[in-house]
Structure 1
Amino acid sequence: MFHFSNIVRSKGDPTIVESGPSLKRPQDQLARALGWFSLGLGVVELLAPRRVTETLGMEGSETLVRAFGVREIVAGIMSLSVEKNAGLWARVGGDGLDAAALLSGLTSDNPKKGNIALALLMVGGIAMLDYRAAQDTKPRRPPRDAKRKLYPGRSGFPKGVKAAKDRAKDMIQHATAGVTS
């Protein structure tokens, strides 16, 4: 069976024969999907701001749309990183900015206010997903009254420090014995 992951493997790497279930939690998968969505939206806003403003009847706001595009790209990168929670909260804040900007275009003289209303509904739905993902991925901390585990007697060596030193000495002696003979 063909697996896409095998394409990027180097020669000599084992190939994937069968995929197992994902180890990603559903909230991590949502964060990832929102990160990719943010990147895509940011690229559109950055590269085609006039198209966005024309669709919304908000011509003249291209610089703002470009700035929002940069914000989306940064939030998307953060949402795809190890610090995904910070990226998701940046998305939540960005949703508020998007809504405020859209509301400014919801005027009686805008012939495309129906498009703005639809965009506001979409921003509201995405905002709920962003908020949910940000809540679900926040770092978990132990309760204040939890006992901390301390390991003062552990060295990190399974057989102890003395055994590790003895093994190192043996290896050095063995290596130098071959050099001197």
Structure 2
Amino acid sequence: MFHFSNIVRSKGDPAIVEGGPSLKRPQDQLARALGWFSIGLGAMELLAPRRVTETLGMEGSETMVRAFGIREILAGIMSLSVDKNAGLWARVGGDGLDAAALLSGLTSDNPKKGNIALALLMVGGIAMLDYRAAQETKPQRPARTARRRLYPNRSGFPKGLEATRSGAKDLIKHATAGVAS
């Protein structure tokens, strides 16, 4: 049976015959999806700010939209990293900035305030997802009653410190014997 993952494997690696269940937790998958969404949205804001401002009737705010795009991209990259929780909280904060910026364009003389209202609804929905993902991916601390593990007898040397010392002495003896002859 052909498995897509076998394409990128080296010749000596065993072939993948069957895939198993994903080890990614649902909250990790949500964080990943939000990270990629953030990068896509940020790229659009960075590369096409005039299109965004025209759609919202907020012409003249292109610099702000570009800055928001950079913020989105960075938050997206952080959401895809090992420290995804910081990236998700950055997204939550960014949602607040987005809402504030959109509210500033919700004026009576803006002919596209319907688009702004729709954008506010979308930001609100995404903000709820961001908040949920940030809550679910926060680092877990051990319970106060959990027993702390201490390793006072470990040296970091698999065969012990004495075996390492004697190995180093032997290495020095062989190295200096070759120099002396």
| TM-score normalised by the chain length of structure 2 | 0.85
Q: 1:25 matched to which residue of 2?
A: 25
Q: 1:83 matched to which residue of 2?
A: 83
Aligned residue type for 2:110: N
Deviating above 4 A after TM superposition, structure 1's stretches of 4 or more consecutive aligned residues are 156-166
Q: 2:153 matched to which residue of 1?
A: 153
Q: 2:113 matched to which residue of 1?
A: 113
Q: 1:12 matched to which residue of 2?
A: 12
- In the TM superposition, residue 59 of structure 1 has moved relative to its aligned partner by 1.1
Shift of the 69–18 alpha-carbon distance from structure 1 to 2, 3 Å rule, reads: same
Q: 1:41 matched to which residue of 2?
A: 41
Separation (CA, whole Å) in 2 of partners of 1:25 and 1:90: 21
- In the TM superposition, residue 142 of structure 1 has moved relative to its aligned partner by 1.6
Structure 1 portions without partners, runs of 5+: none
Map Cα deviations across residues 63-120 of structure 1 (whole Å, 9 max, x no partner).
1111000000000000000110000000000000000011111111111111111110
Is 1:63 the counterpart of 2:76 in the alignment? Answer: no
- In the TM superposition, residue 153 of structure 1 has moved relative to its aligned partner by 1.9
Separation (CA, whole Å) in 1 of partners of 2:90 and 2:37: 14
Q: 1:74 matched to which residue of 2?
A: 74
- In the TM superposition, residue 146 of structure 1 has moved relative to its aligned partner by 3.2
- In the TM superposition, residue 145 of structure 1 has moved relative to its aligned partner by 4.3
Separation (CA, whole Å) in 2 of partners of 1:111 and 1:131: 32
Aligned residue type for 1:69: G
Q: 1:102 matched to which residue of 2?
A: 102
Separation (CA, whole Å) in 2 of partners of 1:50 and 1:15: 50
Is 1:137 the counterpart of 2:129 in the alignment? Answer: no
How many percent identity over aligned positions?
84
Q: 2:93 matched to which residue of 1?
A: 93
Separation (CA, whole Å) in 2 of partners of 1:9 and 1:31: 27
State how many pairs are aligned.
Answer: 175
Tell me, what secondary structure is at the counterpart of 1:19?
coil
